Structure 1
Amino acid sequence: MFEKEYEIFWNEQVRQAQGQRLDMLRRDLTGTKKLLEEVVLPVLGTVEGLELEFEMISLSGVKIYGDVCHPKLRIVFEEESFVTHAEKITRDRFSFERARARSVAMLGYTYFPYSRDQLEKKASFCQRNLYEWIGRFGNAQGAGMLELPVYEREVLRFALLCNKPFQLKEVSQWLQLKREACGKIVRKLEAKGFILPIGGGLARSHKFMFTEKAVALLHGRN
């Protein structure tokens, strides 16, 4: 039953993919399959809303990929084999993996890694971890967003979908408003702690990034 569901899911993901992500989907995904079979599907009950080899842009500007992602819940699942992620890893690769985890966090995702050994020997424990996370943080209804003025809400919504630092000109495109009006909206969001400037201030058109407070608002966390 799982094999058939996975095959349909994988084919759909391949059909929608292109470029480097398509290449990633065509590699050996044995660990990802194990992750889905032992933890993600038993807990979530469906593949709906999931993306394999989820593409993100790291803080250094390069593309990085998460094994499995649920964008609405903003959680990235990883299967990590000891051999490939620890035993045979180089120092440069170790540093890259740490920077990659930081990038995932900065993009507003929860990074949720599982070791291959745990998936094979302690699947129920792994499932319990995910159940606990969902119980605390998994409300994806975004009810708290409704408390914001509509333009502020839309900026956060687009920023969260964008998943990377954004500029004022992009806000203008999202809202179809002039730069001056968008600047006021951005300043209000910054004052409320929902976004922060990266590399400079508003006047110099530097980039902005949403904060964990914005993610918490989306998830309805207290």
Structure 2
Amino acid sequence: MRGVIKMHTEVVRFIAKFEEEAIRKGLYRKKLGDIEVLFLELVLGPVFNYDFEGLSAEFPLKDFKGGDRFVDFIYIRNGMRFVFEIDGFTTHARDISPGDFDDHLYRQNELILSGWFLLRFSANQVKRRAEQCQKQIFHAIGHWWSLSHSLNNGGAHSWAERKKRIAKLALRSGGVIHTKDVEIEFG
């Protein structure tokens, strides 16, 4: 599929950086799949004007049991915290067991309860309806903006919300918070 479309230079740069880091860190996945590349090219690239600062692929997160989970993409920038997942029908619907299906739902709930904005797209949507995917991301950014700006106008209410976010951050990171974590959390 990579040979079918001419990739934007920033997509090529993002892929090369990911692959270099994956090899250096010994990650499980050392290459992005065709659908992830297509998502960068057709969906995220146009949304973010091909500026991928704050975007990471195959990002490891701890689940509620302390195990490692990987999300397709995370985007952390200017206080925004998004997870983007691209699901193929066979691996995420048709060919999974009831236990795997339950696990997918627990994982999704855990991400949402940990303060992430989660957007899921099917591989089919990315291939055939990229503009609709873009619109949903724009909508999510607008939703995030309205929520975050309404919180910042509240004085004591705003401080209470910040304390809640720090508590959630502590839960996600096993009780240990570093300055960099707070910086990322609050942009």
Q: TM-score range by the shorter chain?
A: 0.7 to 0.9
Q: What corresponds to 1:199 in structure 2?
A: none
| Residues 1:132 and 2:136 aligned together | no
Asked if the contact 1:43/1:130 (under 8 Å) is kept, the reply is yes
Q: Deviation per CA, 1:101-137, whole angstroms, max 9, x where unpaired?
A: 0111122101100011111111111111111111221
CA shift, 1:95, in A, is: 1.3
Q: What corresponds to 1:205 in structure 2?
A: none
Q: What corresponds to 2:10 in structure 1?
A: 5
Please provide the CA RMSD for this pair.
3.5
Asked if the contact 2:87/2:121 (under 8 Å) is kept, the reply is yes
Asked if the contact 2:19/2:31 (under 8 Å) is kept, the reply is no
Q: Deviation per CA, 1:126-159, whole angstroms, max 9, x where unpaired?
A: 11111111122147988829957xx989867766
Q: What corresponds to 1:68 in structure 2?
A: 73
Aligned length: 171
Q: Pick one of 37, 42, 45 that aligns with 1:38.
A: 42
| Residues 1:102 and 2:106 aligned together | no
Q: Pick one of 98, 119, 124 that aligns with 2:126.
A: 119
Q: Pick one of 144, 157, 161 that aligns with 2:152.
A: 144
Asked if the contact 2:15/2:32 (under 8 Å) is kept, the reply is no
Asked if the contact 1:32/1:78 (under 8 Å) is kept, the reply is no
Which has more radius of gyration? Answer: 1
Q: Distance in 2 between matches of 1:111 and 1:97?
A: 13
Which structure 1 residue ranges, 5 or more long, are not aligned? Answer: 175-214
Q: Percent identity?
A: 22
TM-score by length of 1: 0.63
Map 1:1-222 onto structure 2 (within 5 A).
2=7, 4-17=9-22, 22-24=27-29, 26-45=30-49, 46-72=51-77, 73-138=80-145, 144=152, 147=155, 164=172, 166-167=174-175, 170=176
Which structure 2 residue ranges, 5 or more long, are not aligned? Answer: 1-5, 180-184
Moved more, 125-134 or 9-18: 9-18
